Structure 1
Amino acid sequence: MTSTKNAPTLLDEVRAFRLHHPDVRYVDLLSLDIPGHFYGKRYPIDMLEKVAAGSPLKLPQNCVLLGAQGGLFPIGDYCFNDGDPDAQRRLVPGTLKPVTWEREPLGQMLITSDGTAAPIEFEPREVLARVLQRLERRGIRPVVAFELEFYLFDRALKDGLPQFPRDPFSQDEDDQPNMHIERLSRFSDVLHDMVSSANAQGVDANVITAELGPGQFEINFGHCEDGLRAADWAALFCRSTRGVALKHGLRASFMSKPYLQAPGSGMHVHVSLYDQAGNNLLAADQQRPLRHAVAGCLALLPHCMPIFAANHNAFRRYGAMVNAASRASWGFEDRDACIRIPESSPHNLRIEHRLAGADANPYLVLAAILCGMEHGLDAAQEPIAPLNDDRTSGIDFPKDMPAAVAAMREHPAVNEGLGEEFVMVYCENKRQDHLAFMHEVSAREYRWFL
């Protein structure tokens, strides 16, 4: 983004926020870790003004490495052999916004190591920033739009298990999977508050859909010319949506597969590629670059599964019920495909990458998709047959975390595209998380084997 002489500074942003929100005393400074959780600190707003004016902002580097449950794993020399050093962070301009779902007035702002003197190589936002910078040097500008599916649940768990949300009007369980518009009306209070709260964060959330699962919905975001900002929107929406649901006496979850008998929740990502003159690169030469980009995505997809399926539960989506692919595939207007090509004008021609679970890390998902597209443009190979021509067309991908990590760890194009240090750290984080998850005797094991 090109700065101008009259562009507002961070200090201007903080002072304007204080002027418009004089009752806010604290601001949460947030960043996304590898599993996709926010970590950070709550700053008094007068101290935030000092940071905006140039005071250093540091947090432990290893916050980024936390496992799904917040624990630290020995990964290379990190965590237990490095003295747990601090690393510089910076405020992300334009992200200081009011929080609307807390009881007390509060603000929040994104922070990151990208753009600092010593970025953290494995920080998700920094990984995506490096990919975008590489594409920019090649004159390629992605335009991105996320779609996120999620479930609403009753706030109270029953025997540790989720319950269907209560219809606000009848107080009956909303246990009817359908796409009826009436469900949007019944849950309009919480859904509209979710969109309004996201909009207050600067997130262009717009279209709401009642999905197939009981209490399942989808929110679409506007197309964004800044890939980092598009991923910021997805991350911030997850945070605000969970908060708004609790405010309304419900739970919201982006868990990939909360019910075995109902559809899972996905993260769909629309990506177009433009040159500096605004021409859609995918539409050139009778759409040959589109097909090359598809081929690249399909080639790297089996080696990026720990990113697309970020936990044990996420693998349950694949091959189950509707619109959940079991092989890497593509097709025109085909929702059974991992990569769908929506019908559009040449200027809006794009891929829709549909494989990732809704609880995946949006920065890393977008980085992996862009690496696949870049790989395909460089290799200039035609893809396998689309599902429109051959319903059996597809490429196998790993269906569990250990196999997925093994497929990702040593793949040269993935290491080159995302960074060797990141790939090492990420794969070991996922391997250790999987071992920790399996290190418990479940009630089912006692029922089967005791």
Structure 2
Amino acid sequence: MTDFLAEYAAFCDTHGRPDRVELMLCDLNAVLRGKWLPGEDDAKLAEGGVRLPLSTYAPNIMGEEVAATGLGIIAGDPDGRVIPIVGSLRPVPWAKGNVAQIQVELLGPDGEISSLSPRLLLQTMLARYHKRGLHPVLATELEFYLFQPRDAPDAAPVPPAGSPTAQNYDLEVLERQQAVLNDILSAAKAQGLPTDTLIAEYGPGQFEVNFHHTNDVMFAADMALWFRRLVRGVARVHGLEATFMAKPYADFPGNGMHVHASIIDRDGHNIFDAGGSGVAETLKGAIGGVLASMRDLQAIFAPHLNSYRR
């Protein structure tokens, strides 16, 4: 893990040694779980001395163990060794003190990354593309709501004061929320997240941030996770809450994440581009595949009860 130690040393040269490093593991629901590590324990992390239960990959959306997975207490809840993802070390500018974050994976008893890892599943799919000489290019758009702080997690959300019921593309709404929105964009820049435009979306307190296209699909996926965490953290600093959930309000539009995708071949050509002469056969095939698999893939795209309220 000399690459991680070199990255950590360079981080300390730039930002100073962090008070803590927040270790982030992505579970199957795209929830970041983990632990705080003292900033002086970089060698312990590099040597595999940090542990998390392998079941951390697979709780339900509420964070509860699912006995049917065969993981957790039912299996003795064995630990995996935490390994850092080199290149994912970032500052946490909204936190108090000098704080860093890094994404991690878990090694199982066989010394390999657990098959439950969402990142491993994505890497496997990307390898299939690359074997054919194909390279996906992605850009994402993430929608979220800001709302007033609640006394209990099951309390209904209330939009920020002065929010119109329909605020789509309203520049005055952006101006009123300028402080928190500027801090969101500044934090994204500090973490190297390439934001593009920001708009007021339709619902009261709803906003959307777009990201630039990238051929680094793994980074695009990580970036979406980091950005959700970032928005919620910055919102708390400003005395607000934020949510990316599908349908936080019954009477207002839901949130979504839009993905703009193209596929580039060995010659740098977008295989979905017919050159202005109709629709490419490859694009027809991709659309047909999406339609044919749509029902089954709702388990991935709409995995929770709230998804269907949208």
TM-score by length of structure 2 reads 0.91
Which residue of the partner structure matches residue 157 of structure 2?
A: 162
1:335-350 alignment runs, 5 A limit = none
Which residue of the partner structure matches residue 191 of structure 2?
A: 201
Which residue of the partner structure matches residue 27 of structure 1?
A: 21
Q: How far does residue 44 in structure 1 lie from its aligned partner after superposition?
A: 1.5
Which residue of the partner structure matches residue 47 of structure 1?
A: 41
Which residue of the partner structure matches residue 310 of structure 1?
A: 303
Which residue of the partner structure matches residue 200 of structure 2?
A: 210
- Is the contact between residue 164 and residue 175 of structure 1 (CA under 8 Å) also seen in structure 2? no
**C-alpha offsets along residues 93-145 of structure 1, whole Å, 9 cap, x if unaligned?**
22111111112221101112489942211221121111111211121111111
| Structure 1: 5+ residue stretches without partners | 1-7, 167-172, 318-450
Q: In 2, distance between residues paired with 1:114 and 1:87?
A: 5
| 2:129 corresponds to 1:135 | yes
Q: In 2, distance between residues paired with 1:164 and 1:98?
A: 30
Q: CA RMSD in A?
A: 2.1
Which residue of the partner structure matches residue 278 of structure 1?
A: 268
Which residue of the partner structure matches residue 59 of structure 1?
A: 52
Worse-superposed segment, 107-116 or 173-182: 107-116
**C-alpha offsets along residues 214-243 of structure 1, whole Å, 9 cap, x if unaligned?**
010001111111111100000000001000
Which residue of the partner structure matches residue 143 of structure 2?
A: 149
The structure that is helix-richer by fraction is: 1
Q: How far does residue 284 in structure 1 lie from its aligned partner after superposition?
A: 4.9
Q: What amino acid is the match of 2:163?
A: D
Identity %: 37
Instruction: Find the residue that maps to 1:314 and give its secondary structure.
Output: helix
| 2:6 corresponds to 1:16 | no
Q: In 2, distance between residues paired with 1:126 and 1:57?
A: 20
Q: How far does residue 74 in structure 1 lie from its aligned partner after superposition?
A: 0.6
Q: How far does residue 176 in structure 1 lie from its aligned partner after superposition?
A: 3.0
1:173-252 alignment runs, 5 A limit = 173-179=162-168, 180-252=170-242
Q: How far does residue 157 in structure 1 lie from its aligned partner after superposition?
A: 4.9
Instruction: Find the residue that maps to 1:264 and give its secondary structure.
Output: coil
Rate the CA distance shift 1:157–1:163 in 2: closer, same or farther, 3 A: farther
**C-alpha offsets along residues 363-420 of structure 1, whole Å, 9 cap, x if unaligned?**
xxxxxxxxxxxxxxxxxxxxxxxxxxxxxxxxxxxxxxxxxxxxxxxxxxxxxxxxxx
Q: In 2, distance between residues paired with 1:157 and 1:59?
A: 31
- Is the contact between residue 95 and residue 202 of structure 1 (CA under 8 Å) also seen in structure 2? no
Which residue of the partner structure matches residue 253 of structure 2?
A: 263
The structure that is strand-richer by fraction is: 2
| 2:91 corresponds to 1:102 | no
Q: In 2, distance between residues paired with 1:75 and 1:267?
A: 30
- Is the contact between residue 94 and residue 237 of structure 2 (CA under 8 Å) also seen in structure 1? yes
Q: What amino acid is the match of 2:90?
A: K
- Is the contact between residue 88 and residue 118 of structure 1 (CA under 8 Å) also seen in structure 2? no
Larger Rg: 1
Instruction: Find the residue that maps to 2:295 and give its secondary structure.
Output: helix
Q: In 1, distance between residues paired with 2:265 and 2:106?
A: 28
Q: In 2, distance between residues paired with 1:222 and 1:198?
A: 13
- Is the contact between residue 95 and residue 201 of structure 1 (CA under 8 Å) also seen in structure 2? no
Instruction: Find the residue that maps to 1:283 and give its secondary structure.
Output: coil
Instruction: Find the residue that maps to 2:11 and give its secondary structure.
Output: helix
| Structure 2: 5+ residue stretches without partners | none
Q: What amino acid is the match of 2:34?
A: G
Instruction: Find the residue that maps to 2:246 and give its secondary structure.
Output: coil
- Is the contact between residue 273 and residue 282 of structure 1 (CA under 8 Å) also seen in structure 2? yes
Q: In 2, distance between residues paired with 1:187 and 1:76?
A: 43
Q: How far does residue 9 in structure 1 lie from its aligned partner after superposition?
A: 2.4
Q: What amino acid is the match of 2:118?
A: P
Instruction: Find the residue that maps to 2:262 and give its secondary structure.
Output: strand
Instruction: Find the residue that maps to 1:177 and give its secondary structure.
Output: coil
Rate the CA distance shift 1:264–1:272 in 2: closer, same or farther, 3 A: same
- Is the contact between residue 114 and residue 125 of structure 1 (CA under 8 Å) also seen in structure 2? no
- Is the contact between residue 144 and residue 271 of structure 1 (CA under 8 Å) also seen in structure 2? yes
Q: In 1, distance between residues paired with 2:48 and 2:55?
A: 21
- Is the contact between residue 203 and residue 252 of structure 2 (CA under 8 Å) also seen in structure 1? yes
Instruction: Find the residue that maps to 1:9 and give its secondary structure.
Output: helix
- Is the contact between residue 143 and residue 244 of structure 2 (CA under 8 Å) also seen in structure 1? yes
Q: In 2, distance between residues paired with 1:33 and 1:300?
A: 23
Q: What amino acid is the match of 1:162?
A: P
- Is the contact between residue 113 and residue 126 of structure 1 (CA under 8 Å) also seen in structure 2? no
User: Between Structure 1 and Structure 2, how many residues are aligned?
Assistant: 303
Q: In 2, distance between residues paired with 1:204 and 1:227?
A: 13
Q: In 1, distance between residues paired with 2:290 and 2:25?
A: 28
Q: What amino acid is the match of 2:81?
A: Q
Which residue of the partner structure matches residue 37 of structure 1?
A: 31
TM-score by length of structure 1 reads 0.64
Instruction: Find the residue that maps to 2:192 and give its secondary structure.
Output: coil
Which residue of the partner structure matches residue 327 of structure 1?
A: none
Q: How far does residue 82 in structure 1 lie from its aligned partner after superposition?
A: 2.6
Instruction: Find the residue that maps to 1:302 and give its secondary structure.
Output: coil
Instruction: Find the residue that maps to 1:207 and give its secondary structure.
Output: strand
Q: What amino acid is the match of 2:101?
A: Q
Q: How far does residue 58 in structure 1 lie from its aligned partner after superposition?
A: 3.5
